[in-house]
Structure 1
């Protein structure tokens, strides 16, 4: 079958290429919006860990492209990632670290002193296959996204981020409930049932009285009562039960779908520009990872001091 085999096995991968989305993950945000109306009335949005830009593309097509030229001037969308990505119409790219306070300041400056109405994050660390470790790393990344959101999100704003369902996620849910009045777990149809991936959808952001925005992963250094209940090492784990909402559609991400006679294989809309695995693939062609090791350094290009607005590239 060649290239067509993945099109048969992954219906959302195939649909993404047919509909012009640069990543199948675009459907996850589209289905969240369909379920919760997350994008309704939004003119200031932030996409964290944005590369290769699937969710930024959704924000552009839903918030920016349908408007008139005059209305577009009021729409501000910023995509934050340390990796570069191809331009998207109406989306400003900021190559910075989401754990830095300067990044939050740059985002607020981009909004002319205002704050975001919506923050989304589909970021995920490289998966190892060790579920406990992967879930822990994903939880830390989600806490980093939540931390910067407490700086940049306006009162009443919304947040959506990826989480891996596991034993320790109750700690993450407790943090989310500190800052949002409405928190639930969402499972899009585009996310496989066999995957532990899910998304937290948090609405009605409210800053707790007396809370100073900080790195929530390190908060226990200053306020141990907020995160570390017992310094002896024995913790009283509290299980948090959140509402679970699943999206339904005509396609099942776990099924294979036959290709009809009119099927035409299409290439990916946009491949990653600075994917971390590019150098790994080059190295593994000439060496064995079983007996050797190497360090991958990401693109060390100095990010621009100010965010730069990109326009959609011309189609050839």
Structure 2
């Protein structure tokens, strides 16, 4: 069976097409938010490796459009608008515009990209950074896991330049024997780190997502694109002196999404009308974003 016919049998592929998402991966971010509440209190967000833009669509629907509605309500009540929501999408490739999303065509390993993000936030820092990027897989799992880990560390490096203290970082990983090492490295920068497997992620896939909450860089850490992140050793972690090996670490693993809902495997055909409240609500918000594509936007949004 070819990949195209396999995708057409996948319930989340069909739902994404029906709801107007550019990729089925939109549901992965929705289910991560459902489990961890990563959108709560976020007014500035960055989507790294954003193309084709499904995660940016979710951010626009759940942050920008809601922020616009709240600002209008506050203005009508003469209470002053809430803080302006700003979303920046970064990718080497150009992608179609999304209302409410500022697009930067740049390299996440470049300092100029980090500076451009800060400029768009008018000197502020992001509350949330997400990254769904992945390399072209070779089929050799050890190599794929290593390359994906390097991409994650590159995303983390630029995140240290743009993320506010207490912020959240979400990124894709390929689970393998070194996941405990990755977890320990991320714990140097965040108070809480969990590995999550959204329900919409196929069971046959080795992909998962790290959800890192409470950004808190090590004392004396100075972000730099030129020096390795891991110059700061694990000695800063509580009880780290007792660790004798990288695998002596219990990694929290969370299954995200309604486990009684859709099955991401292609053979599980279910009624699309049975979608959960979260997905239906986000789809409604997305349709409003799409309807606004031809309307007047802010001068610095959607380009």
Report the CA distance between 1:205 and its aligned residue.
0.5
Change (3 A) 1:166 1:64: same
Change (3 A) 1:19 1:132: same
**Structure showing the higher helix proportion among its residues:** 2
In the aligned structure 1, how far is the partner of 2:4 from the partner of 2:90? 33
What CA deviation, in whole Å up to 9, does each residue of 1:127-182 have, x standing for no partner? 11000000000000000111111110000000100000112233321221001001
Report the CA distance between 1:3 and its aligned residue.
10
Change (3 A) 1:259 1:151: closer
| CA RMSD after TM alignment | 2.8
Where does 1:118-137 land on structure 2 (aligned, <5 Å)? 118-137=128-147
Mapped contact 1:183–1:202 kept (Cα < 8 A): yes
Report the CA distance between 1:226 and its aligned residue.
6.6
Mapped contact 2:10–2:269 kept (Cα < 8 A): no
Largest Rg, 1 or 2: 1
Mapped contact 2:6–2:266 kept (Cα < 8 A): no
Mapped contact 2:32–2:257 kept (Cα < 8 A): no
Which residue in the other structure is 1:171 paired with?
Answer: 181
- Residue 188 of structure 2: SS of its match in structure 1? helix
- Residue 309 of structure 1: SS of its match in structure 2? coil
In the aligned structure 1, how far is the partner of 2:2 from the partner of 2:87? 38
Where does 1:283-302 land on structure 2 (aligned, <5 Å)? none
Unaligned runs of 5+ residues in structure 2 are 73-80, 236-243, 274-298
Change (3 A) 1:258 1:31: closer
Mapped contact 1:147–1:216 kept (Cα < 8 A): no
Which residue in the other structure is 1:62 paired with?
Answer: 62
Q: Does 1:47 align with 2:47?
A: yes
Which residue in the other structure is 1:297 paired with?
Answer: none
In the aligned structure 2, how far is the partner of 1:91 from the partner of 1:226? 37
- Residue 228 of structure 2: SS of its match in structure 1? helix
In the aligned structure 1, how far is the partner of 2:63 from the partner of 2:270? 33
**TM-score (norm. length: structure 2):** 0.77
Report the CA distance between 1:20 and its aligned residue.
1.2
Which residue in the other structure is 1:273 paired with?
Answer: none
In the aligned structure 1, how far is the partner of 2:227 from the partner of 2:149? 10
What CA deviation, in whole Å up to 9, does each residue of 1:4-50 have, x standing for no partner? 84455211101100111111000000001111110011110000000
Unaligned runs of 5+ residues in structure 1 are 228-235, 263-306, 312-316
Change (3 A) 1:259 1:35: closer
Mapped contact 1:87–1:310 kept (Cα < 8 A): yes
Which residue in the other structure is 1:309 paired with?
Answer: 301
